[in-house]
Amino acid sequence: MFLYPQEIISDIYVSRIGGFSYELDKKEAGINSKAIVMNTSIIADETFARLKFLDEKPHPFFLRKEYRIVGLEEYMEGYEESSNGELILSMDLKDELEEKIGKEVIINTVETFRLGKNEIYRYIGRKLWGRDFKGAH
């Protein structure tokens, strides 16, 4: 029923940028709530994702911005732009990312589901410095 998001590997999805919304915070990304339920294991308002645009040079995973996935309902701004499950970003990011509308984006939710919110930072801290690292959360 919905073209996006498409799961390409467990907990990693591909979608397109559909537009921007004033209702979303700078650290939120919206997807049609029905598309989330039908196509993903994402839990709206609880799942965090890191994004990677297919046409950009890859940044190290932990330097990518993290976004909370919000389910867009019919009454919300941006719902129409996510009619096929496209990703909607905050209007605050429009100047920076406007040329990305219609482009593919990888939505990586592995950290949320497999590693836990802070577990990966503790692991890195133990490996690098011999102690826990609290991370940016």
Write out pLDDT tens, residues 7-46: 999 999 999 999 999 999 999 999 999 999 999 999 999 9
Residue 131 is predicted with a pLDDT of 56
82 and 44 in contact (C-beta within 8 Å)? no
List 12's β-bridge partners, or say none: 9, 108
Q: pLDDT tens-digit profile of 70-120?
A: 999 999 999 999 999 999 999 999 999 999 999 999 999 987 655 555 555
Domains of the chain: 6-129 (2.40.40.20)
Does residue 68 have a pLDDT over 80? Answer: yes
CB count in 10 Å sphere of residue 8: 11
pLDDT computed for residue 132 by the predictor? 53
| pTM greater than the 0.85 cutoff | no
Dihedral angle of Cα 26, 31, 37, 40, to the nearest 10 degrees: -80
Alpha-carbon distance 15 to 22, whole Å? 20
